[in-house]
Chains A and B, each alone.
Chain A
Amino acid sequence: MIFHSLDFVLFFAAFTTLYWCLPHRAQNVLLFAGSYFFYGYVHPWFLILIASSTIVDYCAARGMERWPRRRLHFLWMSIVSNFGLLGFFKYFNFFAENVSHVLTAAGIPLGLPELRILLPVGISFYTFQAMSYTIDVYRGELHARRSLLDVAVFISFFPHLVAGPIQRASYLLPQVEHSRRFALDKARTGFALICWGFFKKLVVADNVGVIANRVFALADPSFPILWAGVFAFAIQIYADFSAYTDIARGTSRWLGFELTPNFEHPYLARSPSDFWRRWNISLSTWFRDYVYLPLGGSRTGGIAWARNVLVTFLLSGLWHGASWNYLLWGFYHGLLLVATRARSILRPAAEPPALPAAVVPLVAFARIAGMFVLTCIGWLLFRETQLSAIVRDFGLSPFAASALDRRTGLYLFLVALMYSLPLWMHSIAAESGARTEQPMRWPRLVLQGAACGLAFGAILVLRSRTSLDFIYFQF
């Protein structure tokens, strides 16, 4: 089931009403049933995968506590089964295709079979979440749960099941286990988040997505048209993914849960490391805690540190999809971080020079704009799936475009910019300090209500006629 459907709206209304009529344990049973209904709504066979992943991780964690000497075996059992599922459904074709190419080049033509099977939606999200549970139990940071139901609810909790944010067991499991109460202030903020999320998805992401899709379908893009399309995609992917997070967080609040935020206005980042503190935070921290730090993190220093960063980002790229362009995207971001660090090592800043007050915002703007351009270069790698097209795109000259192409590029850019204005305004307002939690006063409440009303009105008249799936569903 998808959020932006009336099926979901009606399901959620009925579900929430029933949910708050039940005692805690029954709520969890309903959450489990509702989550499985939500996930298996279109393809019931998906349930076999999530159920098997849940059972294996539950047994692995219990085994670790029961037989501590063999906990490594149980950890491997969890890792192999989770990565086995992920690898089979997500990476098998990529692996088979590349092995075939290599063998053919070596004079050994070998036709490896191609899997013609649907990638189960959200599999990357819930396998990572499930693994965080077993790894934390292995590390002794969490004790294994006796209740299979609680573990199943933790893994399948429907608001964030298919596109995150990925929650840690130590954060979400206690919320599953403890009784919850309906909090009116949480419901209010949740409602506002849901409105904002639907607006971002239906009005912003889907409208600029039409521009991006058309530009990236062109066989002969020119420089201005291509980069207008990249800009549109940058807006689309942020609006789309953060919309999912907002709706997930908003609906969770109506059920008495609190999910961690996944975005902190990433396009206002001033450096690569700042960007990764703001973008897909739940996945970034997952890789930090379960890949980067175990590799040695920044403690190793020098070349080893650079290797750790690059390996982490390559894996992060691969997590997004079985395609070379995602690996390139991950490598590119890893390289940006390494280059930034190398620059600070080679040219250690003493005291930052004192700038005149009038210049400070300009410098901040320049850094934000510079980082946004670097991010957009990354989005080109991310969106363009054919390596030959990537090479062609980077070879385009801004001076070779015709007058029509320049005007077309400008037009597409401005239309995408117009649709994205609410996002920029929201981010700038939030960064300017407006996001500090303050007691709800009437003027602020009216302002919030007006914003929600305008968002709903915009959905009614400005939503795209082309309804696109959430981008991160494919991961």
Chain B
Amino acid sequence: MHVPASSGRIHLIVLIVLTLTIPFGIRLADAWHTPELSVPSYLPAIEAPRAREPFDADPIADLTRLNPGYVVIGDSMAGTRIDVPRFTQLAGRTVAPILSAGSGSAYWYLVLKNYVVASGIRPRAIFIFFRDTNLTDVTWRLDNHISLDRVAHDREEELNAVVAERIAGRWYRFEDVLERAYGAAHARPWMEPEIGTFVGEAMVPGRRRRAQFLDELNARLGLEHLRAMEAADMQAAEDRDADFRKYIDRSALPLMVREASTHGLTLCFVRVQRRPVGGRPPYQSPALQRYVHDLRAYIEAHGAMLRDDTGDSDLTLEMYEDGDHIAAASRRRYTEIFVNRLAPLFQRAGTR
């Protein structure tokens, strides 16, 4: 079928123009929609406006008042390992733990920036506890809103940027512009669930009964009903995260070391040993070994320290409780080993 060039050109232009202009209807639809009371998220790359917990400024005042010699940041890995009174006794200075169970590297970074740096204190060292690849996975435990909300300001541009880059790749800014132009970033959070909501409303009348049904449905399809992943698959999945060079620029680690460097703080990252297997440290895949090697090189090149518990023969299986947690009865012992292994750091800090 022959199409004259002039009309063919017009047809093509009309098609492209319609394709690009019709989605502006999203803005119209969004304007008609009345969202629930919410505020813009500090991580707009992944979250719609939502109700949030307010920033908790109390720890800043506490830190200023306490002026600790050492600060410990982390999740339950730190919480189940460090015996604070014993640590204080051994180190000879006050220790301030800022811990939150179920927290990740985004939380640790915000604690460092918004609490430690903001308080103006100069501790001799700040310890950040982590497991394997957690430090370079900024998306890990981002859904722990309650913890994060309390340490995040209204805008956390740099954290949002690394989260976006980790999720959307290097072109996230382009996507961001596109989504903002069409109002998609704002409309998506309420438009996207509409299909599920529509079906839910058709099947189960009544808001409360529907909510109960969806809860039951989610539980029915929940983790405890899933097939056990085969060990090989799990290893493969873990190895995918153990790519330091791929993820370092899309993680909160560079932000942490920069904050420390800018404010003259000494950071010491502590990689905990996971639960030993058969009387030996857990298997370290070649990918994970490479990762830890690269991580150490990076951290040390940026003036910070890395303490790796893995392979420490004194950290035996008997010290562990559930999973990678240390039993309460062994916390004192762990703390002593910890201080002993880092003796040069404490001696150096003591002379300052």
User: Is B a genuine binding partner of A?
Assistant: yes
Residues of A within 8 A of B (CB): 5-7, 10, 183-185, 187-188, 191-192, 195, 214-215, 217-220, 225, 404-405, 407-408, 410-411, 414-415, 418-419, 437, 439-440, 445-446, 448-450, 452-457, 460-462
Contact of A460 among B15, B182, B198, B227 (CB under 8 A): B182
Asked if B19 and A195 sit within 8 Å, CB to CB, the answer is: yes
- Using Cβ atoms and an 8 Å threshold, which residues of chain A touch B213? 407, 411
Q: How many A-B residue pairs have CB under 8 A?
A: 130
Asked if A452 and B203 sit within 8 Å, CB to CB, the answer is: no
Which residues in chain B, 3-28, are within 8 Å of chain A measured between CB atoms?
A: 3, 5, 7-9, 11-12, 14-23, 25-26
A192 vs B3: C-alpha distance when bound (angstroms): 17
| Cβ-based interface call for B178 (8 A) | yes
A455 vs B184: C-alpha distance when bound (angstroms): 14
Q: Give 30 A-B contacts (CB < 8 Å), ordered by A residue.
A: A6-B175, A7-B171, A10-B171, A183-B8, A184-B5, A185-B11, A187-B12, A188-B11, A188-B12, A191-B15, A218-B221, A219-B225, A219-B228, A404-B216, A411-B203, A415-B196, A419-B195, A437-B1, A440-B3, A445-B15, A449-B14, A449-B22, A450-B18, A450-B22, A460-B23, A460-B184, A460-B188, A461-B187, A461-B191, A461-B192
Asked if A453 and B20 sit within 8 Å, CB to CB, the answer is: yes
- Using Cβ atoms and an 8 Å threshold, which residues of chain B touch A437? 1
Which residue of chain B lies nearest to A419 when distances are taken between CB atoms in the complex? Answer: B195
Known: A6-B169, A411-B199, A460-B178. Is A217-B226 also a contact (CB below 8 A)? yes
Asked if A461 and B18 sit within 8 Å, CB to CB, the answer is: no
B342 to chain A, nearest CB (A): 38
| Cβ-based interface call for B157 (8 A) | no
Name 17 extra pairs, CB < 8 A, besides A191-B12, A457-B23: A5-B171, A184-B11, A185-B3, A188-B8, A191-B16, A215-B221, A219-B226, A407-B204, A410-B203, A414-B199, A449-B14, A449-B18, A449-B22, A452-B15, A460-B188, A461-B188, A461-B192
Asked if A445 and B22 sit within 8 Å, CB to CB, the answer is: no
- Using Cβ atoms and an 8 Å threshold, which residues of chain B touch A185? 1, 3, 8, 11
- Using Cβ atoms and an 8 Å threshold, which residues of chain A touch B3? 184-185, 440
Which residue of chain A lies nearest to B191 when distances are taken between CB atoms in the complex? Answer: A461
- Using Cβ atoms and an 8 Å threshold, which residues of chain A touch B14? 445-446, 449
- Using Cβ atoms and an 8 Å threshold, which residues of chain A touch B196? 415
- Using Cβ atoms and an 8 Å threshold, which residues of chain A touch B225? 218-220
B222 to chain A, nearest CB (A): 10
Interface of A is mostly: helix
Which residue of chain A lies nearest to B186 when distances are taken between CB atoms in the complex? Answer: A461
A336 vs B9: C-alpha distance when bound (angstroms): 48
| Cβ-based interface call for B281 (8 A) | no
| Cβ-based interface call for B174 (8 A) | yes
Contact of B203 among A187, A407, A461 (CB under 8 A): A407
Asked if A452 and B18 sit within 8 Å, CB to CB, the answer is: yes
Contact of A453 among B22, B187, B192, B228 (CB under 8 A): B22
A192 vs B15: C-alpha distance when bound (angstroms): 8
A266 vs B14: C-alpha distance when bound (angstroms): 32
Interface centre among B3, B15, B18 (most CB of A within 10 A): B15
- Using Cβ atoms and an 8 Å threshold, which residues of chain B touch A462? 188, 191-192, 195
Which residue of chain B lies nearest to A410 when distances are taken between CB atoms in the complex? Answer: B203
- Using Cβ atoms and an 8 Å threshold, which residues of chain B touch A218? 221, 225-227
A6 vs B187: C-alpha distance when bound (angstroms): 22
A172 vs B221: C-alpha distance when bound (angstroms): 47
Asked if A184 and B12 sit within 8 Å, CB to CB, the answer is: yes
A203 to chain B, nearest CB (A): 10
- Using Cβ atoms and an 8 Å threshold, which residues of chain B touch A191? 12, 15-16, 19
Interface of B is mostly: helix
- Using Cβ atoms and an 8 Å threshold, which residues of chain A touch B188? 460-462
- Using Cβ atoms and an 8 Å threshold, which residues of chain A touch B182? 457, 460
| Cβ-based interface call for B217 (8 A) | yes
Asked if A188 and B1 sit within 8 Å, CB to CB, the answer is: no
- Using Cβ atoms and an 8 Å threshold, which residues of chain A touch B187? 461
- Using Cβ atoms and an 8 Å threshold, which residues of chain A touch B5? 184
- Using Cβ atoms and an 8 Å threshold, which residues of chain B touch A414? 199, 202-203
Contact of B18 among A214, A411, A446 (CB under 8 A): A446
A201 vs B25: C-alpha distance when bound (angstroms): 22
| Cβ-based interface call for B49 (8 A) | no
| Cβ-based interface call for B254 (8 A) | no
A152 to chain B, nearest CB (A): 30
B41 to chain A, nearest CB (A): 15
| Cβ-based interface call for B179 (8 A) | yes
A204 to chain B, nearest CB (A): 11
Asked if A453 and B11 sit within 8 Å, CB to CB, the answer is: no
Asked if A411 and B195 sit within 8 Å, CB to CB, the answer is: no
- Using Cβ atoms and an 8 Å threshold, which residues of chain B touch A450? 18, 22
A428 vs B216: C-alpha distance when bound (angstroms): 36
A415 vs B197: C-alpha distance when bound (angstroms): 9
- Using Cβ atoms and an 8 Å threshold, which residues of chain B touch A439? 1
Contact of B217 among A220, A408, A461 (CB under 8 A): A408
- Using Cβ atoms and an 8 Å threshold, which residues of chain A touch B26? 457, 460-461
A323 to chain B, nearest CB (A): 14
Asked if A440 and B203 sit within 8 Å, CB to CB, the answer is: no
- Using Cβ atoms and an 8 Å threshold, which residues of chain A touch B191? 461-462
- Using Cβ atoms and an 8 Å threshold, which residues of chain B touch A407? 203-204, 213, 217
| Cβ-based interface call for B200 (8 A) | yes
B142 to chain A, nearest CB (A): 13
Flag B32-68 by CB within 8 Å of A: 1 or 0 each.
Answer: 0000000000000000000000000000000000000
Which residue of chain A lies nearest to B218 when distances are taken between CB atoms in the complex? Answer: A408
Interface centre among A410, A449, A452 (most CB of B within 10 A): A449
Asked if B22 and A454 sit within 8 Å, CB to CB, the answer is: yes
Complex A-B, nearest 6 residue pairs according to Cβ-Cβ distance, in ascending order: A453-B22, A449-B18, A184-B8, A457-B23, A6-B171, A460-B184
A185 vs B1: C-alpha distance when bound (angstroms): 9
- Using Cβ atoms and an 8 Å threshold, which residues of chain B touch A187? 12
Asked if B221 and A408 sit within 8 Å, CB to CB, the answer is: yes
Which residue of chain B lies nearest to A457 when distances are taken between CB atoms in the complex? Answer: B23
A418 vs B193: C-alpha distance when bound (angstroms): 12
Contact of A188 among B15, B25, B179, B204 (CB under 8 A): B15
| Cβ-based interface call for B245 (8 A) | no
